[in-house]
Structure 1
Amino acid sequence: MKINPITCAVLAALAVSRVSYADGTTPPAPTEQPATATQPATTSQPNKTTSAQAAMLGVVTVTAQHMAQDMQDVPITIQAFSGNTLQQLNATSFDDLIKYLPNVTFAANGPGQGNIYMRGLSTGFLGNQSSATIAPFPNVAVYLDDQSMQFPARNLDIYMVDMDRVEVLEGPQGTLFGGGAEAGAVRYITNQPNLTRFGGSAEASTGVTDGGAPNNSANAVLNLPIIPGTFAVRGVIYNDHQGGYIDNVPSTFTRQPTDGGGAMAPYIAAGGTSVANNYSVAQNNWNPVDTQGARLSALYKFNDDWNFLIAESYQNQDAKGQASTYPIGADGQRLGTDQITTFVPAWNNDHFTNTAWTLNGQIGDLSLVYTGGYTNRRISEQQDYTNYSRSAGGMYYQCTGTSAGLSSAGKPICYSPNGYWNDTVSSSHQSHELRLSTPEDGRFRVIGGLYYEDFNIDDHMRFNYLTIPSCTPQNLATALAGGNPCVAVAESSPGVTLPAGTAFGENAQRGYKQEAAFGSMSYDIIPDVLTVTGGTRYYHYSEWQTGTEFYTTAAQVDVPNGTYVGNDTVMNYHKTYHGFKSRANVQWNITPNMMVYYTFSQGFRPGGFNRTTSGVAKLDGEAQYQKPISYAPDTLTNNEIGFKSTFFDDRLLFNASAYDMRWDNVQMQFFNPLVLGNTTFAVNGPNYKVDGLEVQFTGRITDGLTIMGSGSLNHAKQTNSPCLVNNIPGSPGYNSCIIETGAVGDNTPFANPFGNVGSVPAFSPRSQYNMRLRYDWTFGGGFKAFAQAGFNRTGSMYNQPATYPNGAGVTDITTVELRYLQGGYTTVDASIGVAKDNWNVSLYGTNLTNNHASVFTSSAQFIESEVPIRPRVLGVKVGFKF
């Protein structure tokens, strides 16, 4: 078993540490109860939750409404997991947590590469190439404490160690959390320094992956009150190694006469092709992931009314290889489970640092909070794109000698099919929020605030599949003397020379600034019984995108490297928009243990820009549609009723909610090279209606046996069917729906890309549910033991909207938007452990049935690919509290 240097350092530090407790609270031991909410307790009823009740089912305090509340008092659908529960579930990543989140799906394309969706609000996922430039902003917000971590198509994979809790807020949160929280929010809340107690904890684990390499992890937490009662610091360090389990098997790549729609046939007939292989990169278990990080926070208490918290976080995630598998290999061979055929080195390195600060204070009866943060994130990714060579576009950049290639001169010849894309991204995200609130125990309560955000992305994307020799002096001389053509190295603007082999890409910068003001008021019409709340948020966005998108064209054939031929499109786009998003709810405490609510809420997400405005959807050689420069925000309106309660002397918790949501002016992306051009673009399209039901329950069957579960039924459908309208004045059919495209004399019907009324959106399973049992007991000499088992069921779903081409059985792939059915699946996890004094040890297993279901099936790399769930893992974990 390989152990990284940071793991060794952590274990060495633990060997010389003293024994005490990290957070000044009762340690997480096997006999502690699962972390779920007890009966509702409003802020005007501070004594309703007794210590006996807390011991029965536990209490999770959340800040979903910018105030500390029992989860049972929040009038929205919310799921919260305490730090103890996360440890019990062996959850350290969002992939671990999502199995306990009904109504949440995740289009995962590898670590730190994916989109979170809630309640089926999705229009599909295209993959990661160019995502930093072209992907719409997500409609589910991700927060680390009070700092927004959103990123287009690349949700930050925050390692969950030393967490106070994780909150999952469903439905629009636009009033308090702004743009990006359109469908909901995921909030990672870290533990703060304890001012009075020295201590810490340590944990290490090791395990095996079925058919893969071993895993190991270690983390340590230290809390140090430097000035007891006044100043304390808290640190955490972690290292996690996940062994690879996907095999990149040896393969050849043989060009076929059917490649490029049959355009390859003349090259094969002329003997102008050769067989490539991947032998230099083929290896077993080629997708290991190493996550290393640290967090240091400091809390200073000025007096009883004022304190200041600052935290610095660092994380580096290094994922080798690719997280996907191929059912059918590069040469048409059927592959086995967890196998792939790729031809170039691949990786994804994701690094972030975050500095966050919070000032809490009292000004008379008003509570003041100022919180801010600055995040810097850097990404370097490279992925195989060799299968693009089978398309007409790929041939264009790799072949010469016929009209199908970049040049028709010389003898028909195709060079290496090996291709890849490389993306280098850096971003900065700064935010500031000032909040004022009246006392939480008042009959009339008000919270208001100001918000400022500055988000910047710098993306350098390279599609490196141009394998025709570049025009070095020798190659150029040969070409000009009648030999095979050469192609000059691309330049994105005068003087900006790109790497040899780069066929297409962009140097783009995008971002926005947001100013907002928000307020919310609550009034107890009948104290402790009936409460009404209303609030709104005014927002103003200044959005921009600049840079260039560059191409390789015939103008670069047989000219010297370094020649700029003006083959790039300059982006210099700006726009502003503003508006209000509001919420209102009525909360009725029927009894101290039973509450019903109605909530109306609105959400939105920012719009964006397209890289070019070229004409597409040609008919008889004439374009019928000009891609728009920009697309507008889309909006979500939610009407929800809910019920939260406990029964049988607080032994049973039962929550339920039903909702009706209207998602309007929805942002959609298109990439169909044969009809809509060879670059992705986005527009505003149809509306969707989503109805659903969700339940959560926790039952204490005996003093030691607890059952927990949750589930959802979701029905999402499209409610209108706009069309792609001919928007080019003077063209035949101007201002009417585009119904056919094609070359002169070869017109074909054009399917409406927006979809049909009643069709189901992507990543919207009809049902999801999970259940788990936990039994705690004690035995001789103070030993405490537990056993836990559970399962998760996710229903089938599609990866793309209904009108996208069906990918079943398709081998000649010409688009990244093929529609695949991702089958439903079930996973089973279990663990057992024992603890005594400060030590605990447990055995755990995940995916015990060794299911290999796909969580993201796509044609993003011009071949059918599947991202499987991790195979069965068996491991042992040892913990020590001091």
Structure 2
Amino acid sequence: MKTLFGATSFIAIIASHMVAMPAFAQDEGADDASPRSGVAEIVVTATKRSESMQKVAVAVQAMGNETLAQLGVANTADIIAQMPNVTAGGGGPGQNTIYIRGLASTTPNLTTAGVSGLAPNVATYLDEQPLSQPGRNLDVYAADLARVEVLAGPQGTLFGASSQAGVVRFITNEPKIGEFEGRAQAGVSFTKGGDMSNNAQVVVNIPVADNFAVRAVAYLDHQGGYIDNVRGTRSVAQSGRFRRATDLRQNGTLVGNQATGQGGANLSGITFLQADNSGLVEDNFNDADYRGFRVTALWKFAPDWSLKVAHSRQGLDTDGVFSEDPTLGEYKIERFEQDKTKDNFSNTAWTVEGRLGALEMVYSGAYTERETNQRVDYTDYLFVGPYIPYYVCDTTVYYGGMNPTGTCQPPNLFVTSKSKLKSFTQELRFNTPAENRFRVTAGGFFSNQILKERNDFNYQGSIRALGADGVTPGFLPNYPLTNTSVTGLIGNAGPGYFSDPGPFPAGVIFRNDVKRSDRQFGIFGEASFDVVPDLLTATFGARYYNVTNDLEGSANSSFNNRISPTFGSGSVDRQLYGTNLSVKYSGDIAGIPDQAKATGVIFKGTVKLTPVENVMFYATYSEGFRPGLLNRPGGTTRNGYTVPYAVGTDDVRNYEIGWKTKLFDNQLLFNGSAFFVDIKGLQTSILDPSISNLFFSDNAANAWTKGVEGEVTFAPAAVDGLTVSGGFSIIDTKITKVLLQTSYVQVGQKLAYAPSFQGNLRARYEWQLGDTGLRAHIMPQMVHSSSKYTDVILPNRTKLNSYTTFGLSAGVEKDNWSVELFGDNLTDKAAQTSGDAVYSVSRVVVARPLTVGMRLSFNY
């Protein structure tokens, strides 16, 4: 801890010299406060009560509506860039997983999107409702938000299972009773070497009656591409099988057999046809389009009672990918099949608030549906997939012994993924009066989430590959149904879940067809007592949780259903309609768990000290957990490793001290915290084709993460209109014990997405332009991140370089309108924000290049 406390002293020195680095002040709740009034008050609901951020003994950062507008925040990625203790892994819009304080192990690959994904350890909320789901979070567009809150550290007592590392909350603007309000804004921008982007948003607030109002927002946002799909070729000769062609011959003797590798074979008799992406070559092929609306109605139907109902719909369409191949140069990649995603969700949420005597009651519920349709180039799997030649090469190649002959088709591989999510949540809680010396917040929570996902793995070369007779091409149709009266053919050996009766489309070699259910029930409470009023407060919290994860489905393949000498030369194989893993999913076999279950109680304790007004210190102990899950290939044993049927929870214990200060007559805000988090049984996802062709998960290791984080805002009275603000995060992480049966993970290595330092700095200066009535502003800003790794699994990870980006905006406003010019990434840095190496090749997500543009807005 020597480094930790040394860093604390260093931060104190920085603050004393007013060198600030993100800023989340001057808005929200008191957004109408001007820079001349100092640092504005920010009201948050981090404890499920409305309180000043400076009085809440929780490490919380908040950006209000004014700050969001000043920064041009549009989506989750924009928000993450402004939060120095937050990172994200994933493949671009709609495909990100959020991490806080470096508590991360891995980011799921797109083709495992949800059903095999780990539950998130950072909860995402829209107002009162959780939106988290396994594999990827909803990418909520930042339209008409009152604020964004980021709560760091375990928040499990109040927010439940997926808040192990923290919570990100999107708080929308409520309808205003008795007031008409309208706002319109639009923007356009141009990216160096990329396509133009544009957006528009309209907000209207309508007072329908004295006690009833409706608020609506609609938005469109087109984000032009900046990644180039460049020409390339690829053949099966580059596969793992043929690259190991000489590895299996020792002293002239063949080791192994032709089914596992062409060891020492003469490959000159094989014709390798190349995949050529000439028809897909395109500059700036990674477009993204957001579109959607939200309508909210607020009815105050009695004194102290109100009902709020909100309905949202959003569509997100993307083309291409948002990553580069570092070996090809910046913003370049080779893709051999079309990539595209359609991600649509609808959400209806309701909240009833009222008073029962002295108790404040809040009941909230929500129903969400999300549907994604995705097509992903899977050609990179060539580099690790050991059996690709079986599917796209002639049988005489695969079973040709030491002198194989025949043709290998081009390895154009892609996956089509369709998923449907339905989520229902409810919470009922009660608050005792905030002015009481002894205060309680308590309630119950229930959620039920069902995710259905079907992934088809397409190997187009399989249609043309010849069987053992040298004449018959392709594989026989695969029908996953067990009902043989439908197909008239041999079906699977056991029952299963099938969303499509088949047959598979031509070229589909594997199908994963799975339904995942996640249920959570919790009873929670926090009690605070003012031991010495206005000086010392003690808080104790606890949550009982009961969570279950269930899978049912099938993983089918067109394996052995072609002419092959394995079952007699010249004869048609008995048709084996795939490998049905539904028996393992549903637990029909004795001794195999049918669910991943977790029950228990987690605790939190906090002591808050307020020695003088506007200075507060706190110390917290808190616990968090993440639910376990079932493994689709559970029970598979290869190379000394057995895939577990069920993965246990991973648990954290957090030890934290923090401070919140407003000094020098409200001119300086300096908040921060120092923390140590002990992690047991860290979950991770793994791809190792030598064990299983399916992703699987396991409890990989024990670890810790420790650090110091903070935010500073300075609004000096001596310089009217100036605000300097920033934030920083210093983190150290370490794996202390390896729990896996292999050397995937090593003691002493760093966790994923845990840069040792992140920080940003912003200065905004506003002034009047003479007596014109115009008020001008200029705002430079900087964001820095040190290097980080993308995974804790050594074969699957890559290193991301450090980066620093700069931005500048300037504009004028008068009365109800404003115009602003802005520039982002002014030094044109290819900032590496995310990535992976799950297919033994590095793919890195890079931020948008130098971009300049203009924003206009009008308020009524």
TM-score range, shorter chain: 0.7 to 0.9
Contact 1:130 1:423 in 2 (8 A): no
1:596 to 617, 622, 626: 617
For 2:259, the equivalent position in structure 1 comes to none
Return 272-281 or 255-264, whichever deviates more.
255-264
Return 386-395 or 259-268, whichever deviates more.
259-268
1:567 counterpart = 2:574: no
For 1:867, the equivalent position in structure 2 comes to 845
1:269 alignment partner, SS class: coil
Cα separation, 1, equivalents of 2:641 and 2:530:
56
2:42 to 55, 60, 64: 60
2:809 to 821, 827, 831: 831
Cα distance change of structure 1 residues 407 and 283 upon mapping to structure 2, 3 Å threshold: farther
For 2:382, the equivalent position in structure 1 comes to 389
For 2:124, the equivalent position in structure 1 comes to 142
Deviations 1:657-684 (A, max 9, x none): 111111111112222223x232221122
1:187 alignment partner, SS class: strand
1:537 to 539, 543, 551: 543
Deviation at 1:562, TM superposition (A): 12
Residue identity opposite 1:626 in structure 2: T
Cα distance change of structure 1 residues 223 and 406 upon mapping to structure 2, 3 Å threshold: farther
Deviation at 1:198, TM superposition (A): 0.3
Cα distance change of structure 1 residues 274 and 412 upon mapping to structure 2, 3 Å threshold: same
2:634 to 613, 621, 629: 613
Cα distance change of structure 1 residues 348 and 709 upon mapping to structure 2, 3 Å threshold: same
For 1:361, the equivalent position in structure 2 comes to 354
For 2:825, the equivalent position in structure 1 comes to 847
1:704 to 706, 721, 725: 721
Cα distance change of structure 1 residues 578 and 614 upon mapping to structure 2, 3 Å threshold: closer
1:774 counterpart = 2:768: no
Cα distance change of structure 1 residues 110 and 222 upon mapping to structure 2, 3 Å threshold: same
Instruction: Give the TM-score, by structure 2 length.
Output: 0.87
Instruction: Give the TM-score, by structure 1 length.
Output: 0.85
Cα separation, 1, equivalents of 2:474 and 2:610:
77
Contact 1:433 1:450 in 2 (8 A): yes
For 1:789, the equivalent position in structure 2 comes to 780
For 1:425, the equivalent position in structure 2 comes to 419
1:498 to 498, 501, 504: 504
Deviations 1:129-184 (A, max 9, x none): 12312111110011111111112231211110100000000000100000000000
Deviation at 1:75, TM superposition (A): 0.8
Deviation at 1:405, TM superposition (A): 6.5
1:134 alignment partner, SS class: coil
Deviation at 1:320, TM superposition (A): 0.7
Instruction: State how 1:338-417 maps to structure 2 within 5 Å.
Output: 338-391=331-384, 392-402=386-396, 404=398, 411-417=405-411
Cα distance change of structure 1 residues 658 and 37 upon mapping to structure 2, 3 Å threshold: farther
For 2:858, the equivalent position in structure 1 comes to 880
Contact 1:491 1:562 in 2 (8 A): no
Cα separation, 2, equivalents of 1:54 and 1:153:
45
2:679 to 663, 675, 699: 663
Q: Which runs of 5+ in 2 are unaligned?
A: 1-21, 246-261, 483-500, 565-570, 587-593
Deviations 1:710-753 (A, max 9, x none): 101111111223341xxxxxxxxxxxxxxxxxxxxxxxxxx522
For 1:87, the equivalent position in structure 2 comes to 69
Share of identical aligned residues, percent? 34
1:626 counterpart = 2:614: no
Contact 2:339 2:377 in 1 (8 A): yes
Residue identity opposite 1:412 in structure 2: G
1:567 alignment partner, SS class: coil
Deviation at 1:493, TM superposition (A): 3.6
2:388 alignment partner, SS class: helix
Instruction: State how 1:112-131 maps to structure 2 within 5 Å.
Output: 112-131=94-113
Cα separation, 2, equivalents of 1:38 and 1:468:
60
Cα separation, 2, equivalents of 1:407 and 1:554:
18
Cα separation, 1, equivalents of 2:399 and 2:277:
24
2:448 alignment partner, SS class: strand
Contact 1:632 1:684 in 2 (8 A): yes
Deviation at 1:543, TM superposition (A): 2.1
Cα distance change of structure 1 residues 325 and 870 upon mapping to structure 2, 3 Å threshold: same
Deviations 1:449-476 (A, max 9, x none): 01110011001011112522279xxx8x
Contact 2:557 2:578 in 1 (8 A): no
2:665 to 632, 643, 649: 649
Cα separation, 2, equivalents of 1:63 and 1:187:
9
Cα distance change of structure 1 residues 589 and 153 upon mapping to structure 2, 3 Å threshold: same
Contact 1:38 1:653 in 2 (8 A): no
Cα distance change of structure 1 residues 466 and 523 upon mapping to structure 2, 3 Å threshold: same
Contact 2:559 2:576 in 1 (8 A): no
Cα separation, 2, equivalents of 1:870 and 1:359:
42
For 1:177, the equivalent position in structure 2 comes to 159
Cα separation, 1, equivalents of 2:573 and 2:290:
41
1:233 counterpart = 2:214: yes
1:438 counterpart = 2:438: no
Deviation at 1:508, TM superposition (A): 0.3
For 1:820, the equivalent position in structure 2 comes to 798
Cα separation, 2, equivalents of 1:405 and 1:217:
57
1:678 counterpart = 2:693: yes
Residue identity opposite 2:115 in structure 1: T
- Number of aligned residue pairs: give it: 784
1:715 counterpart = 2:732: yes
1:36 counterpart = 2:21: no
Deviations 1:521-549 (A, max 9, x none): 11111212211111111111232110011
Residue identity opposite 1:517 in structure 2: I
1:583 counterpart = 2:577: no
Q: Which runs of 5+ in 1 are unaligned?
A: 1-32, 42-47, 329-334, 619-623, 725-750, 806-816
Cα distance change of structure 1 residues 49 and 784 upon mapping to structure 2, 3 Å threshold: closer
1:432 alignment partner, SS class: strand
Deviation at 1:390, TM superposition (A): 4.3
Return 457-466 or 860-869, whichever deviates more.
860-869
For 2:56, the equivalent position in structure 1 comes to 74
Cα separation, 1, equivalents of 2:266 and 2:418:
35
Return 343-352 or 858-867, whichever deviates more.
858-867
1:310 counterpart = 2:333: no
Deviation at 1:863, TM superposition (A): 3.2
For 2:187, the equivalent position in structure 1 comes to 205
Return 285-294 or 549-558, whichever deviates more.
549-558
Residue identity opposite 2:790 in structure 1: N
Residue identity opposite 2:736 in structure 1: T
Contact 1:34 1:58 in 2 (8 A): no
Instruction: State how 1:742-753 maps to structure 2 within 5 Å.
Output: 752-753=743-744
Instruction: State how 1:454-493 maps to structure 2 within 5 Å.
Output: 454-465=448-459, 467-469=461-463, 482-483=470-471, 486-493=474-481
Contact 1:346 1:384 in 2 (8 A): yes
Return 393-402 or 709-718, whichever deviates more.
393-402
Cα separation, 1, equivalents of 2:438 and 2:238:
76
Deviation at 1:867, TM superposition (A): 0.8
1:169 alignment partner, SS class: strand
Contact 2:702 2:739 in 1 (8 A): no
Deviation at 1:291, TM superposition (A): 0.3
For 1:800, the equivalent position in structure 2 comes to 791
Deviation at 1:400, TM superposition (A): 2.4
Cα separation, 2, equivalents of 1:575 and 1:695:
38
Return 552-561 or 486-495, whichever deviates more.
552-561
Deviation at 1:837, TM superposition (A): 1.1
2:704 to 689, 696, 705: 689
For 2:755, the equivalent position in structure 1 comes to 765
C-alpha RMSD of the superposition: 2.6
Cα separation, 2, equivalents of 1:282 and 1:301:
57
